[in-house]
Amino acid sequence: MAPLVPMSQPWVEKYRPRQVKDVAHQEEVIRVLNNTLQTADLPHMLFYGPPGTGKTTTALAIAYQLYGPELYKSRVLELNASDDRGINVVRTKIKNFAAVAVGTARKAGYPCPPYKIIILDEADSMTEDAQNALRRTTETYSKVTRFFFICNYISRIIEPLASRCAKFRFKPLSEEVMSSRIMHICNEEGLNLNAQAMSTLSVISQGDLRRAITYLQSAARLFGSSISSSDLISVSGVIPEDVVKSLLAACRSGEFDVANKEVSSIIADGYPVSQLMAQFLDVIVSADDIPDDQKARICKKLGETDKCLVDGADEYLQLLDVASETIRSLFNMPRTLVF
C-alpha cells in the first residue's frame, strides 16, 4: 500500500486563494471587483451561486487585500452558518460591531479604507425578521461598515436587502478548472491521480470544488498517495454506477418481480435512497434511447418521491414506486394498469 499522507490543515483552507485575482473561473466578477479594489470604495455586496465556487474565498480575499494581516482582525467580522442566525444576533453582535466607526490607518501595501466589513456567510439561512432588521442596520451604518452577504439562493434574500447591494453571480466551475486546481493540489501533496480518478472526482463533485478537495483529502488520508476512482467513490458516499445501471436494466426488463428483486437488494445493501434517486435521475435524463415524454413521467415520479422521503416515507416503498413508474413509462402502460 502507498504511504499514508500526513494531514494537518484542511486542504480547503490550505489551498484557498488569498488574492481576488487568483479566484478561478469567475472572470466577470473578478474584473469588476479588481476595479472596485483600486478605489477601495465598495458598495454592500451580495455574492450568490452554487456551493464551492469561490464566494467566501472572494469575500475573504477582498477583506485581506484591503486591510492586510495586522488590521484584518479588528476590521472584519466573519459570521458563518455555525453562528446564531436570529434577530438577536443582528441586534447585538452585528450592530455592536457595525456601529463603531474607525479612522483611516496606514499600513504599507494596503489601502486600509475608513470602514469595516461584516461577512455574512449563508445569509439565505437567516430568518426574515433578521433580514428585515439587517436592512435597517445596513442603511444606518453604511458610512462605517460594508456588508458582504453570501448565499446559494438569492430568492431567499428579501428584496429590500438584496436591492441595497451590488450583486455578483458565481458560476459552477467547469471540469477543466476543477481538474487544474485538483492537479495543482496533487502536485503539491505528492499524490497520484490517474485520468479515470480525475474524471470520477469531477463527476461526483458536480462543480463544487470544496467537495472535490474534501473527497481528495479524505481519500489520501485513508488510501495513501495513490488514489483510484473507487477510493474516491467510497469516501464520497456516491453509489457505484453499476448499482444505478442495474436498477434501470431491471426496469427495462418490464417485469415487476425482477425490478422488485433489484430494489430489495439495493435496500439490503444499505444504499441511501435519496442519493440513489439523484443518480438515477442523471442516468434517465442522459439516456439517448428514452423518449422525452417517458423521461418526463419518470422525472415527475422522482420529484414526488423525493418529497415523500423528506417527509419521512419508507425507503423501500418509495424506490419500488419509482421502479414501477419507470416500467410503466418505458412500456407506455397507462397509469391505471397496476401490477
Ligand X SMILES: Nc1ncnc2c1ncn2[C@@H]1O[C@H](COP(=O)(O)OP(=O)(O)OP(=O)(O)O)[C@@H](O)[C@H]1O
Task: Give me the residues that bind ligand X (CB under 6 A), please.
Answer: 12, 15-17, 23-26, 51-57, 121, 150, 152, 170, 173, 181, 209-210, 213
* Torsion angles phi and psi, residue 76, rounded to 5: -120, 130
Query: Rounded to whole angstroms, how far apart are CA atoms 149 and 29?
Result: 15
CA angle 192, 197, 203 (to 5 degrees): 140
Furthest C-alpha separation in the chain = 78
Count of C-beta atoms within a 10 Å radius of residue 295: 16
* Rounded CA separation 182/268 (Å): 35
55 vs 95 by CB, closer to ligand X: 55
- Min. distance of Cβ 90 from ligand X in angstroms? 20
Q: Least Å distance between CB 174 and ligand X? A: 10
Sheet of 45-48, strand order = 76-79, 116-120, 145-151, 45-48, 166-169
Minimum separation from the CB atom of position 262 to ligand X (A): 35
Q: Tell me the backbone φ, ψ of residue 336, rounded to 5 degrees.
A: -75, -20
Chain residue at closest Cβ approach to ligand X: 54
Give the shortest CB-195-to-ligand X separation in angstroms: 22
CB of 208 to ligand X, least distance (A): 7
Of 90 and 173, which has the nearer Cβ to ligand X?
A: 173
Give the integer Cα–Cα distance in Å for 211 and 208.
5
Q: How far is the CB of 333 from ligand X (least distance, A)?
A: 42
Q: How far is the CB of 13 from ligand X (least distance, A)?
A: 6
The 8 Å CB, 24+ separation contacts for 76-85 are: 76/116, 76/117, 76/118, 76/119, 77/116, 77/117, 77/118, 77/119, 78/119, 78/121, 79/118, 79/119, 79/120, 79/121, 80/121, 80/122, 81/121, 81/122, 81/125, 85/122, 85/125, 85/126, 85/127, 85/130
Q: How far apart are CB 304 and ligand X at their closest, in Å?
A: 28
Selection from 224, 190, 219 nearest residue 204 by Cα: 219
Q: Of the two residues 133 and 185, which places its CB atom closer to ligand X in the complex?
A: 185
CB of 15 or CB of 147, closer to ligand X: 15
> What is the number of residues in the chain?
339
Q: Which residue, 16 or 93, is less far from ligand X as judged by CB?
A: 16
| Helix 209-223 vs helix 175-189: crossing angle, to nearest 10 | 30
Closer residue to ligand X, CB minimum distance, 140 or 174: 174
Q: Judged by CB, which is closer to ligand X: 9, or 35?
A: 9
Taking the least distance from each CB to ligand X, the nearer of 211 and 297 is 211
CB of 36 to ligand X, least distance (A): 18
Nearer to ligand X, 151 or 302 (CB): 151
